[in-house]
Amino acid sequence: MITLGHYLVVSGILFTIGFAGVMGRRNIIIILMALELMLNAANLSLVAFSRFHVDPSGAPNYNAQVFVFFIITVAAAEVAVGLAIVVALFRLRQTTHVEDITTLKF
Amino acid sequence: MILLLPLGSAAVITLFTRRWKNLSALISVTAVVGSFICSCFVFMRTDISAAEFTWIDIRGVFNVPIAFILDDLSRLMLLIVSGVGSLIHIYSLGYMRDDPGKSRYFAALSLFMFAMLGIVLANNFVMMFIFWELVGFTSYVLIGHWFERDSAAEAAKKAFLTTRIGDFGFMIGILMVWMVCGSVVFDDVVAHFSKITSNPGYLTIAAILIFCGAVGKSAQFPLHVWLPDAMEGPTPVSALIHAATMVAAGVYLLVRVAFLIQASQTALLTIAWIGTITALLGALIATQQSDIKRILAYSTISQLGYMVMAVGLASNEAAMFHLFTHAFFKALLFLAAGSVIVALHHEQNIWKMGGLSSKLKITFATFAVGALALIGCPPFSGFFSKDAILALAFQRNMPIFVIGLTTAFLTAFYVSRQVLVVFLGKPRSDSARTAHESPPVMIIPLIILAFFAFTAGFEAVAQNFLIVPHEKEAGAIVPALAIVALLAGAGVAFMFYRNREHEPLHMELFRRLFYFDEFYAWLIKHTQEFLARVAAFVDRAIIDGGAVRGTSGATFGLGSLLRLFQVGNVQAYAFLFGLGIVALIYFVIFR
């Protein structure tokens, strides 16, 4: 049987991969992609919760799935803004390597 | 009034009349003679009381009045100090006639008189201490009068520092007395005396510490090193400071606190022995000196030793009597020596003198009177006072008597040596051959002092001034022994020094002053270096390194640490972010 636990573990692994990507990749666009991955991992865990918490009357609890819609929307908006920033930065610095964009230090 | 005249004179001279030297001299002399006249008045009438001002009054705890004490002792000292002081001022008119620093000299002299009179008149410890220090300071100024000479500046510094060491002990002694008795006024201390006597150890220490002050000021062993060097000052200064007044201040102090000292046998014995050692030491060194003033300086040390010895043998009367006669004949000797020096154009080496008895007749006569008094030859005054002390020693402490007698022998020896070499025989240098008598302004004080040196010993005269000590059971043996010692000393001196061209005896130990100066220099060098190193270490390592650099270093370090969080790197921020989340989860779930 595939239980809630399995889904949550997968979600966790996806989250970790995403987090590792945020930390370890040099290209800003890849970092954004990893960020998306983290968000989607959260979506997965939400859907899994919705699927496995069943009411006594047999209908699943749809609150979580509605929340997933919100998250997808927000993620899309955020990516739009993020990419706009990346484009502006690229125009300024001519690079997408995040290590070169470190002027905001001490 | 007595006090204010010299003070006023000093102030006026320093502020106004620096340029008019003769006027300054006149002001100073008038002031001190005025003081003398007032002192005579005070002496005659016993009903004068003085005003009292309160200076410091911390209620119940610390009360220091500015008040004067006018008992027999202080009246006598007033007379001595202002009297001899007046004569010396008059003498200075002649001695310092051509000196460029005349105004400065007289101003300092007036200030010194003020301070000395203050010591005599003070009625409490603190006031006396203040004037004590002031005397020390003015003597520094006077000894270093010819400050262009390195030796004079050094000598002045040495005098001040050495007496300062004694003063330090003195101050601690005063504090000890005050702690127990609650008051620094002499009379009050006498009244509360029972409080101290209950603790004999404490009393002994306090007494000995106060004695330290006298050790410094009166040039006792081991703080005697400053007095011979202080001969760098002008001769009238030597006469004033070292014969009549400042060194007598120490003895005066001891007599004032005699009630304190006499309650402790240990203190008495210590004082007596230090006085005796000093007397012997001074006499031994004097036998080998060739500067006319140094011989007199060591003679002063020796005689002061006698006085201190008398205090230690519990007889204030004998000590004061000797102080009284000593003031006259020593001042006389110094002034006469000054007359010789001036007549020979400031030559001070006795081996360049000689044959002056025919040329400087009055000086010779007065010097001879002083010398005979110093030796203790009857019927001059010195005989009576020294005899009194020796009789005291004979009765109470035989070893001290023997040493005292030996010192009398040595005294006769070196004084006769001095007279022989300086005045008799043939002239040994050109300046000796062409000498002529000094001007009257210098001669008259000599004659006056000679008169007193002769008469002050007689009971009939001295009785008016002080209590003459009587030792009834001594009999005739002590004076007899004293006279024998005297004649022996003079005789030996004749044998050795008649008609000599150079010093026949060579005793290196005495000539080099028992190597005291070298010893002190070595001592100071080592202790001071050690202390300086310790202080430097503390300063560099602890204060500088620890406190100052430590705090700043810690702040820097902390700052550097915190700075690491401010990398501009986004990924690092993300990492820290994740760490924070983990910590948050941990705290939420497991706490």
Q: pLDDT value at position B538?
A: 80
Query: Does ipTM surpass 0.90 in this model?
Result: no
Percent helix, strand and coil across chain B, each rounded to 5? 75, 5, 20
CA distance, residue B549 to nearest chain A CA (Å): 24
Q: Mutate which of A22, A26, A31, A37 to test chain B, going by most B C-beta atoms within 10 A?
A: A22
Q: pLDDT value at position B278?
A: 82
For chain A, the domains span: 4-100
Cα three-residue angle B86-B88-B91, rounded to 5 degrees: 115
With contact defined as beta carbons under 8 Å apart, do B196 and B188 qualify?
no
Q: pLDDT value at position B120?
A: 81
The residue ranges of chain B whose pLDDT is under 50 are 472-473
Q: pLDDT value at position B231?
A: 78
Tell me whether A19 touches chain B (CB under 8 Å).
yes
Q: pLDDT tens digits, residue range B327-355?
A: 888 888 888 888 888 777 777 777 777 77
Residues B204 and B191: their CA atoms lie apart, in Å, by: 18
Residues B50 and B38: their CA atoms lie apart, in Å, by: 13
How many beta-carbon pairs below 8 A join chains A and B?
Answer: 27
Q: pLDDT value at position A35?
A: 92
What is the rounded (10 degree) CA torsion for B409, B467, B336, B250? 80
Q: pLDDT value at position B330?
A: 83
Q: pLDDT value at position B310?
A: 82
Residues of A in contact with B576 (CB under 8 A): none
The residues pairing with B54 across neighbouring beta strands, listed in sequence order, are B65
The residue assigned the tokens 């573990």 is A9
Q: pLDDT value at position B543?
A: 77
Q: pLDDT tens digits, residue range A44-68?
A: 999 999 888 877 777 778 888 899 9
Total residues belonging to chain B: 591
Q: Which CATH number fits domain A4-100: 2.60.40.420, 3.40.50.300, 1.10.10.10, 1.10.287.3510?
A: 1.10.287.3510
Q: Which secondary-structure segment (H or E) carries B188?
A: helix B186-191
Q: Which of B563, B571, B578 sits opposite A98 (nearest CB)?
A: B571
CA-nearest residue to A16 within chain B is: B578
CA-nearest residue to B571 within chain A is: A23
Q: Mutate which of B570, B573, B585 to test chain A, going by most A C-beta atoms within 10 A?
A: B570
Tell me whether A22 touches chain B (CB under 8 Å).
yes
Q: Which of A23, A103, A104 sits opposite B571 (nearest CB)?
A: A23
Q: pLDDT value at position B458?
A: 65
With CB atoms and an 8 Å threshold, state whether B574 touches A102. Answer: no
With contact defined as beta carbons under 8 Å apart, do B174 and B218 qualify?
no
Q: pLDDT value at position B467?
A: 60
Residues of B in contact with A93 (CB under 8 A): none
List residues in chain B touching A: CB distance below 8 A.
563, 566-571, 574-575, 578
Sequence-distant (≥ 6) Cβ neighbours of residue B75 within 8 angstroms: B39, B42, B43
Residues of A in contact with B560 (CB under 8 A): none
Question: Terminus-to-terminus CA distance in chain A, angstroms?
Answer: 54
Q: pLDDT value at position B302?
A: 83
The residue ranges of chain A whose pLDDT is under 50 are none
